[in-house]
């Protein structure tokens, strides 16, 4: 499953250490939520970056104590129709101020890219190779948005109050 970051397909530096698999030294690792919480202080003391794969049916708030130590949080879309991770993402970014990599996993299709970006994701395990390749184009499909959101684009309302003109990115996104 190709990983897309900054609009390009990249190699994934992270290793998934699921269940009881031993955690390799010196490499970035992603650990499932319950396992992370059980061994948190050890894991964050490692030399290499640590990330957590957080289930979509637990509150993101549980990770708050660790946000400064986590390099990555991977959230889950079991089916793309299951939109709970959008709320988790926004809370992590906007309420708890998480600055690390926020990765979308599970069933990630091109038609969700813009929703995902606007919710605060900056890395995407894309289900289909073809979708990964057209990421930049698909992500740029809409230029006008009604709501304020994490990606910093001004909502339509703010644009109008500033005096019109097409909506522009308030800061660089990916």
Partner 1 sequence: MYLYDDLDRTLVAERVAEFRDQVARRLSGELTEDEFKPLRLMNGVYLQLHAYMLRTAIPYGTLSSAQMRMLAHVARRYDRGYGHFTTRQNIQYHWIKLAELPDAMADLASVGMHGMQTSGNCVRNITTDQWAGVAPDEIEDPRVWAEIVRQHVTLHPEFSFLPRKFKIAVGASSHDRAALRIHDLALRLYRNGAGELGFEAMVGGGLGRTPFLAKTIKPFLHKRDILSYVEAVLRTYNEFGRRDNIYKARIKILVHELGAEAFAKEVEAEWQNIKDGTLALDPGAFADIASRFHYPAYERLDDSPRELTDARRADRLFDSWIGNSVIDHKVPGYAIVTLSLKPEGGTPGDATAEQMDAIADLADRYSFGEIRVGHEQNLVLPHVARRDLLPLWRALDAIGVATPNVGLVSDIISCPGLDYCSLANARSIPIAQEITRRFRDHNLARELGRLHVNISGCINACGHHHVGHIGILGVEKNGEEFYQISLGGKGDEDAKLGTLLGPAVPYAQVADVIEDIVAAYVELRERPDELFIDTVKRTGIEPFKERVYAAR
Residues that bind partner 1 (CB under 8 A): 59, 80-84, 86-87, 90, 95, 109, 111, 114-116, 118-119, 130, 141-149, 156-157, 159-161, 164, 166-167
Name the minimum Å distance from CB 115 to partner 1.
4
Least gap, CB of 17 to partner 1 (angstroms)? 28
Other Cβ atoms less than 10 A from the Cβ of 9: the count is: 14
Pick between residue 38 and residue 156 the one whose CB is nearest to partner 1: 156
CA distance 46 to 134: 36
| Side-by-side strand order, sheet with 3-5 | 8-10, 3-5, 123-125, 101-106, 72-77, 50-54, 29-32, 15-16
Encoding tokens for residue 161? 């109050």
Distance of closest approach, residue 104 Cβ to partner 1, in angstroms: 12
Our CB check for partner 1 shows the closer of 30 and 119 to be: 119
From the CB of 153, what's the least distance to partner 1, in Å?
Answer: 11
Closest to partner 1 by CB, 13 or 136: 136
Nearer to partner 1 (CB atom), residue 29 or residue 108: 108
3-5 vs 123-125, strand pairing mode: antiparallel
Residue 79 or 172 with smaller CB distance to partner 1: 79
Least distance from partner 1 to the Cβ atom of residue 136, Å: 15
Q: What are the distances in angstroms from CA 64 to CA 86, 97, 98, 104, 168?
A: 17, 9, 9, 19, 32
Question: In whole angstroms, what is the distance from residue 99 CA to residue 90 CA?
Answer: 12
């Amino acid at each position: 499953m190709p990983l897309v970051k900054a609009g390009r397909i990249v190699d994934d530096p992270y290793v998934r250490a699921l269940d009881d698999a031993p955690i390799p030294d010196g490499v970035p690792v992603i650990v499932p939520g319950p396992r992370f919480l059980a061994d948190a202080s050890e894991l964050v003391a490692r030399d290499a970056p640590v990330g957590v794969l957080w289930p979509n049916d637990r509150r993101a708030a549980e990770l708050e104590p660790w946000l400064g130590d986590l390099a990555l949080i991977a959230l889950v879309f079991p089916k793309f129709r299951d939109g709970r991770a959008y709320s988790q993402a926004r809370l992590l970014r906007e309420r708890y101020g998480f600055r690390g990599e926020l990765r979308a996993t599970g069933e990630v299709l091109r038609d969700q890219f813009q929703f995902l970006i606007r919710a605060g994701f900056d890395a995407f395990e894309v289900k289909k190779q073809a979708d990964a390749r057209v990421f930049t184009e698909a992500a740029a499909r809409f230029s006008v948005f009604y709501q304020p959101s994490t990606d910093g684009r001004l909502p339509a309302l703010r644009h109008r109050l500033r005096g019109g003109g097409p909506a522009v990115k308030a800061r660089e996104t990916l």
